[in-house]
């Protein structure tokens, strides 16, 4: 008979643990949660102390049967799921389903999957911490109640299919409000003065003015004075400085640094970290603790001293901003400091090495720097210039974590030295509003505000994108010109330089849906959307985990006020919820014209819902919003679709604007006409675009077998498709020679691909 059964939540984790435990142990996986709240109303009994009605996942019945059989043939069972609240809840559900007594069943936890950690955990088992389980269930219940009571309100008042979430809706609000701040920003023009001095050995010394100039007249005065000036090094100031290493990684700081250094999304970072943890390479990756174990500190100290020398070691301890009961008790660190690279693939290896370097650096000496500031004065102007440099005297932790790109060495200069001006230049700069969020900076903002928990940030940010409230994309910006003044060889030239104002890359933008839903929720569900209230809820969940508050009390206090808001929402008009704005009445029909939010975003409506004839709809003009479109602009849009004329063979050509911009349509063939205007496009222009599209379509179709199976030319070469699945054509096969049977065979042999989130180019 097997002596011990160990149950974990991950098959990969089970495989790693089996390597360290002896033959007296069998390790099985529950493959995550085995029970959950059904996705239907009533799964939380609000009249019976908010009792959750859990159901076994139908897909887990086979897993449960295997676990039950293994438990029966074992002397005892050790529940070894992750050590946070979610892991504690998994352990409790397993105990409930297997009919194990939570008060006596052994529960083991460990921060890392190593032999020493496992041996220590097995020697010191505990029982299931019901306070952690209660805290997890409280969070689950809160999220369920908000989702199942608030989402239907959005369906009735805004649009079917929308959803709301206790943390996700607040995260969307942050993105929406940031965009509003950017839209409200009025650019201010300033000039920054720079100069290049050429030294006797040919070295170029760049310098800048310490202030910004308000207008071009101020700059002209300075440059005119510089024409006849002699430039002198009036002072050289050197100050010592230090640069300290950062603390070891927590969940959120790992996500931020992996985004900055490696370009990984928070979701990808957590998936990679999960694999590294389950393989035994790093400690548990869901933590907000900055603590490092004595054993780890000792091992790192020995490694640093041996590898780099005694002067590089500096024992450091870090204090966490907040230590919540749900999190692990160590920061994220490598389990073996002697291993610099680890992981099953290149992405894992890069993330592991980042963790290794950050952890090691946290126990190393500060870098010693020398900051130099050179002041350069002009004989005919009061406007001085400064050149700044920084030299690394002792690299300390930088030996491991790398130097900053800001490090600049200045050439050797002496006081009162005369410098030769090569050129001075002033470029106009237009100020920008606050920066849009990236996924990483949104993580940082959520953490700083105490909204949600670091372990949930990756899934939250993924959810608000997949549900269409936020998009990640690029902003092309607006073409503008700025003034540039340049003094060179005694001559001042003034030019206008083109540039793209507001250009952004890989940022988070709120969608129209996100804006409308956020405005509606902020106005009518203020408490749920309040940042301070959301933070207080997280603190109350921590109090439950610490046995200082009761789950039922927290849920009742929240639900009493929340449910009143849901009841009161019945009186909200749909027009108000969709931000319908009455622009005026059509002079020909007398019907009202509205700009409002519809199923596919902002749109125009002529006529009232329920009236006869039925209302007509049109898109907003390009670049306009609900709050900015004018009545005259709206009337023009109702002139679409416009009959442009006919093709040479008599088919109608109509111009219109759709979700993806202006187009013409002939039969069922749509042709983009960007950047032309559907109101003014000529018949000749339309015919040329249509002919070009026909040619492209003809070249695209290599073969059409009539049942949906086609051989097409794509962006990346020929391929086979049936409309649902695409398949590559073998390199040694001529696409034109493929038969119907061959095409079907290649399609059948090609596995279905999972849909991946896409990046969209945003235009404003």
| Residue extent(s) of CATH 1.10.290.10 domains in the chain | 251-365
Distance from C-alpha of 85 to C-alpha of 78, rounded to nearest angstrom? 17
251-291 pLDDT, tens digit each:
999 999 999 999 999 999 999 999 999 999 999 999 888 99
Report field, pTM of the whole predicted structure over 0.85: no
Long-range contact pairs involving 640-649 (C-beta distance under 8 Å, separation at least 24): 640/678, 640/679, 641/665, 641/678, 642/678, 642/679, 644/681, 644/682, 644/683, 644/686, 645/683, 645/686, 645/687, 647/687, 647/690, 648/687
Q: Where do the DSSP E strands lie in 502-545? A: 504-510
The CATH 3.40.50.140 domain(s) of the chain lie at 2-128
Residues of the chain with CATH 2.70.20.10: 189-244+368-430
Contact 349, 219 (CB under 8 A): no
Determine the pLDDT at residue 619.
86
Q: Which CATH class is domain 140-184+438-467+511-569?
A: mainly alpha
Q: Report domain 2-128's class.
A: alpha beta
When pLDDT is cut at 50, 70 and 90, the band that residue 151 belongs to is very high
pLDDT band at 759 (very low <50, low <70, confident <90, very high): very low
Average pLDDT over residues 563-577: 87
Flag whether pLDDT at 540 surpasses 80: yes
pLDDT score at 328: 47
pLDDT of residue 41: 80
Q: Which of 25, 284, 308, 469 is catalytic?
A: 284
Report the pLDDT value the prediction gives residue 325, as an integer from 0 to 100: 37
Q: What does the pLDDT average to over 580-600?
A: 87
The band of 405, judged by pLDDT with boundaries at 50, 70 and 90, is: low
40 pLDDT above the threshold of 90: no
Who's near 391: CB < 8 A, 6+ residues apart? 369, 370, 372, 407, 409
Q: What are phi and psi of 628, to 5 degrees?
A: -115, -15
Task: Give the chain's mean pLDDT.
Answer: 90
- Numbered ranges of CATH 1.10.460.10 in the chain: 140-184+438-467+511-569
pLDDT in tens, 317-342: 998 776 453 344 789 999 999 999 99
For residue 206, the tally of other CB atoms under 10 A from its CB is 14
Q: Is the pLDDT of residue 613 over 90?
A: no
284 is catalytic: yes
Identify the pLDDT of residue 581: 85
Strands 478-488 and 418-430: antiparallel
Is residue 535 very low, low, confident or very high in pLDDT (cuts 50, 70, 90)?
very high
CATH code linked to domain 189-244+368-430: 2.70.20.10
Count Cβ atoms below 10 Å from residue 222 Cβ, excluding itself.
22
Closest CA to 131 of 110, 160, 102, 159: 102
Fold of 251-365: Topoisomerase I; domain 4 (1.10.290)
Phi/psi at 445 (5° precision): -65, -45
């Amino acid at each position: 008979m097997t002596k011990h059964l160990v149950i974990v939540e991950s098959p990969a984790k089970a495989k790693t643990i089996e390597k360290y435990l002896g033959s007296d142990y069998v390790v099985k996986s529950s493959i995550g949660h085995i029970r959950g709240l059904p996705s239907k109303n009533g799964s939380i009994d609000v009249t019976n102390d908010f009792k959750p009605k859990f159901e076994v996942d139908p897909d887990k019945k086979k897993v449960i049967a295997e676990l039950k059989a293994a438990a029966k043939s074992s002397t005892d069972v050790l529940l070894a799921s992750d050590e946070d609240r979610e892991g504690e809840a998994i352990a409790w559900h397993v105990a409930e389903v297997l009919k194990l007594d939570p008060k006596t069943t052994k529960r083991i936890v460990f921060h890392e999957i190593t032999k020493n950690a496992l041996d220590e955990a097995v020697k010191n088992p505990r029982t299931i911490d019901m306070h952690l389980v209660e805290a997890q269930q409280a969070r689950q219940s809160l999220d369920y109640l908000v989702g199942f009571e608030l989402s239907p309100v959005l369906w009735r008042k805004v649009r079917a299919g929308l959803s709301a979430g206790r943390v996700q809706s607040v995260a969307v609000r942050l993105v929406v409000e940031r965009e509003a701040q950017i839209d409200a920003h009025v650019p201010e023009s300033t000039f920054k003065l720079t100069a290049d001095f050429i030294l006797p050995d040919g070295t170029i010394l760049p310098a800048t003015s310490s202030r910004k100039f308000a207008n071009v007249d101020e700059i002209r005065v300075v440059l005119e004075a510089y024409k006849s000036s002699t430039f002198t090094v009036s002072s050289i100031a050197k100050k010592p400085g230090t640069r300290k290493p950062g603390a070891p990684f927590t969940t959120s700081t790992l996500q931020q640094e992996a985004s900055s250094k490696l370009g990984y999304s928070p979701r990808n970072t957590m998936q990679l970290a999960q694999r590294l943890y389950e393989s035994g390479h790093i400690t548990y990756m869901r933590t907000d603790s900055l603590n490092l174990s004595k054993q780890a500190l000792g091992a790192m100290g020995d490694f640093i001293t041996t590898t780099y020398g005694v002067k590089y070691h500096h024992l450091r301890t870090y204090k966490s901003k907040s230590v919540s009961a749900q999190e692990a008790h160590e920061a994220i660190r490598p389990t073996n400091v002697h291993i610099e690279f680890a992981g099953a693939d290149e992405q894992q290896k890069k993330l592991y090495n980042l963790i290794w370097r950050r952890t090691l650096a946290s126990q190393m000496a500060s870098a010693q720097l020398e900051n130099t500031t050179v002041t350069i004065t002009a004989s005919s102007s009061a406007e001085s210039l400064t050149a700044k440099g920084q030299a690394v005297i002792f690299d300390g932790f930088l030996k491991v974590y790398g130097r900053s790109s800001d490090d600049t060495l200045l050439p050797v200069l002496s006081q009162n030295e005369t410098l030769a001006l090569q050129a001075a230049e002033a470029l106009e700069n237009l100020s920008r509003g606050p920066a849009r969020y990236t996924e990483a900076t949104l993580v940082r903002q959520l953490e700083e505000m105490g909204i949600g928990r670091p372990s949930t940030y990756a899934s939250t940010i993924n959810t608000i994108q997949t549900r269409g409230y936020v998009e990640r994309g690029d902003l092309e910006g607006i073409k503008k010109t700025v003034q540039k003044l340049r003094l060179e060889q005694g001559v001042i030239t003034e030019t206008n330089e083109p540039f793209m104002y507001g250009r952004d890359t890989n940022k988070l933008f709120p969608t129209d849906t996100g804006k409308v839903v956020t405005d509606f929720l902020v106005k009518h569900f203020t408490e749920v959307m309040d940042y301070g209230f959301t933070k207080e809820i997280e603190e109350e969940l921590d109090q439950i985990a610490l046995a200082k508050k009761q789950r039922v009390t927290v849920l009742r206090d929240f639900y009493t006020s929340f449910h009143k808001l849901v009841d009161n929402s019945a009186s909200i008009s749909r027009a108000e919820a969709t931000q319908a704005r009455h622009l005026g009445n059509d002079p020909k029909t007398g019907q009202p014209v509205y700009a409002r939010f519809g199923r596919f975003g902002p749109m125009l409506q002529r006529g009232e819902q329920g009236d006869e004839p039925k209302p007509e709809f049109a898109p907003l003009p390009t670049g306009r919003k609900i709050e900015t479109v004018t009545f005259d602009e709206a009337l023009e849009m109702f002139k679409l679709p416009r009959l442009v004329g006919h093709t040479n063979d008599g088919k109608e050509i109509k111009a219109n604007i759709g979700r993806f911009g202006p187009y013409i349509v002939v039969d069922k063939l749509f042709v983009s006409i960007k950047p032309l205007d559907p109101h003014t496009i000529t018949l000749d222009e339309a015919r040329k675009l249509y002919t070009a599209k026909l040619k492209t379509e003809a070249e695209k179709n290599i073969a059409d077998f009539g049942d949906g199976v086609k051989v097409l030319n794509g962006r990346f070469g020929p391929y086979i498709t049936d409309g649902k699945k695409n398949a590559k054509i073998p390199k040694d096969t001529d696409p034109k020679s493929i038969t119907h049977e061959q095409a079907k065979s290649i399609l059948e042999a090609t596995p279905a691909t999972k849909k991946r989130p896409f990046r969209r180019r945003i235009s404003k």
